Amino acid sequence: MNEIVLSIQKLTKQFGDITVVNNLSLAIPHGEVFGLIGSNGAGKTTTIKMLTTLLKPTSGTAFIAGFDILKHPADVRRSIGYVPQLLSADGSLTGYENLLIFAKLYDIPRSERKKRIDEAFSLMDLTDAKDRFVKNYSGGMIRRLEIAQAVLHKPSVLFLDEPTVGLDPVARQSVWNQIELLKEGGTTIILTTHYMEEADFLCTRIAILNKGILVVEGIPDELKASLKKKNATLDDVFSHYAEGIIETGGTFRDISRTRRTASRLG
Ligand SMILES: Nc1ncnc2c1ncn2[C@@H]1O[C@H](COP(=O)(O)OP(=O)(O)O)[C@@H](O)[C@H]1O
Ligand SMILES: [Mg+2]
């Protein structure tokens, strides 16, 4: 097994009386695309915010590339890239200008900036769009630009919080392709999603969270096989382990069926 780059140790977050992340422990080896899976409110974003040093845990800790998030947050921040759930690119600037801000933020030496920015555009398949205003980008292009921003300093671990939420299938595929390329380049990726097709397509391992508690962890195909049901899907795995009642009502399976019907209709 590869070296562990992310070790989460009894990580817990309480807001008032409510425990949102409950005693979470995980060891994630180098080179994985690790999916944190769960319904809305499961605690995925809170977990990512603690790991990226933006939110202080109530108890427990984590080590990223050997650095303790509590004791060495600056070293952790240098070792990671983060694409938040909400928009992090500036529409009034060009793609190039957005990346230049991040190049400065990450202290990339002036003499290397242009080369690194051009490499990031090329990796995310955005070279032709680099001088356009981001407000004219499609949703998929904006997401890819945000990923380019987050990998400029070549982080060892990249965090993607719901990378394709709200994207149409074509845009989603374009983001998936670029994530695959990053994985081939050796970046360890931690992503959250509530789309099972996404987890199945991208993730080498997944962990299912339900109300802040880790319910199961493993390789998607092995989890499917564990159900002893013919042609089990990751939806089946999710329903089996998480009994995912989404806040809007209905089971996860109902919702994903509705979505599939909706996308067939246009
Ligand atoms: N700052 C906060 N104060 C109080 N409750 C919060 C705060 N942030 C998140 N929560 C609650 O924690 C739970 C988990 O939220 P979150 O981590 O965003 O879930 P997810 O990303 O899986 O949808 C939710 O019930 C949410 O309302
Ligand atoms: Mg979230």
The number of beta carbons lying within 10 Å of the beta carbon of residue 87 is 11
Residue 150: name the closest of 101, 80, 64 by CA. 80
Which residues surround ligand 1 with Cβ inside 6 Å? 15, 20, 38, 40-46
Mutate to test the pocket of ligand 1, among 13, 15, 19 (most ligand atoms within 8 A of CB): 15
β-strands 59-64, 157-161 pairing: unpaired
- For the residues of 28-40, what is the DSSP string, one character each? EETT-EEEEE--T
The CATH number of the structural domain formed by 4-265 is 3.40.50.300
pLDDT digits (tens, 9 = 90+) for 194-204: 899 999 999 99
Strand partners, 191: 35, 160
pLDDT digits (tens, 9 = 90+) for 12-57: 999 999 999 999 999 999 999 999 999 999 999 999 999 999 999 9
Residue that has been written with the tokens 């650095």 in this structure: 67
Q: How far is the CA of 49 from the centre of ligand 2 (A)?
A: 10
Residue 84: name the closest of 40, 10, 150 by CA. 150
Distances (CA, A) of 177 to 87, 98, 182, 240: 20, 22, 9, 29
Q: What's the average model confidence in pLDDT over 131-154?
A: 95
Question: Taking the domains of the chain in order of start, what are their residue ranges?
Answer: 4-265
